[in-house]
Amino acid sequence: MKTIYYYQTFVGLENILTHISDIDVINVSSIHFGKDKNGIKSIYLNDNKPYDNLFDNLWLQTEKASVQGCKIILMMGGAGLAYKELFGDFKTYYTLLKKLISDKTWITGIDLDIEEPTKIEDIKMLINQLINDFGEEFTITMAPVSGSLQQDGGSIAGINYKELYLSTEGKHISWFNTQCYDSFSFETYESIINNGYPPDKIVMGMESGQFSEETFPKALNEVKKIKEKYQTFAGVFDWEYLNAPPNKEDPSQWATFMKMIDFHTNVR
């Protein structure tokens, strides 16, 4: 059962680095594209170029986490129009993305969070290009909202995820980081499995604000129920590390609590 943090507010990873074995993946968020003030087409990490000195500590700490066994993935998209820009000039923007991943050698995957209308053919092209450039071992994940997997049809991205999953390119999707922000529950997870997705492809995600210190045990109980029924349950994520429950002063505790569930259900 993977534990995954989305990491967008770069407050420092000092706490989790002291027990890095509790976290399996950190998704550095998020990559966008656009023109800079001089009109030059550029790649951005949030509001700044990823090579800015502002991010020196981010890259230093994520490389350190990687050396200790934590997978580092780049999230692309979310709010904004990253995919419109990317596919509007694929040659230019993809070249910048490829260079960033190649320069930061500890980045071994990409998370495609598509929250804008996008053609399924373009997504397939992107997946094929990534595999062609970085190999079969490169991790490609996607981040749909739960409803897009509970039933087939449209989505925020304008694509049918089941159609994509069952396509030739679908075999390259390592897992789905499912946004279960409306209902982080056993029932939500099971409805996705009942719709034909394998348990080892579905990560269930919470938003930090969904749970307080008082209600966090409910979240743990839902994860425990899933893990007990579905032994190949892919895992859980939290958006985002900054204020992960139950202790916002030490968000690294979230990963420890989740790993304890994984450990206890595996030793039975």
Strand partners, 175: 141
131-142 pLDDT, tens per residue? 999 999 999 999
Q: Would you say 245 and 219 are in contact if contact means Cβ atoms under 8 Å apart?
A: yes
55-87 pLDDT, tens per residue? 999 999 999 999 999 999 999 999 889 999 999
Query: In the structure, what pLDDT confidence band is assigned to residue 268 with cuts at 50, 70 and 90?
Result: very low
Query: In the structure, what pLDDT confidence band is assigned to residue 249 with cuts at 50, 70 and 90?
Result: very high
* Domain interval for residue 181: 2-266
Residue 257 one-letter amino acid: F
With the CA atoms of 163, 161, 183 and 116 taken in that order, what torsion angle do they form, in degrees rounded to the nearest 10?
-150
Segments of 131-196 assigned E as strands: 139-142, 173-179
119-132 pLDDT, tens per residue? 999 999 999 999 99
Mean pLDDT of the chain: 96
List the structure tokens of 113. 């969070």
pTM: 0.97
How many whole angstroms separate alpha carbon 260 and alpha carbon 3?
11
Number of domains in the chain: 1
254-266 pLDDT, tens per residue? 999 999 998 677 6
Other beta carbons within 10 angstroms of residue 34's beta carbon come to: 14
Cβ neighbours for 83, distance < 8 A, ≥ 6 positions apart: 77, 114, 116, 118, 122
46 Rama sector, left if φ>0, alpha if ψ -120 to 50, beta otherwise:
left
Q: Cα separations (Å) of 217 from 113, 205, 247?
A: 28, 15, 12
Other beta carbons within 10 angstroms of residue 194's beta carbon come to: 9
CATH number at residue 38: 3.20.20.80
* pLDDT at residue 267 in the model: 45
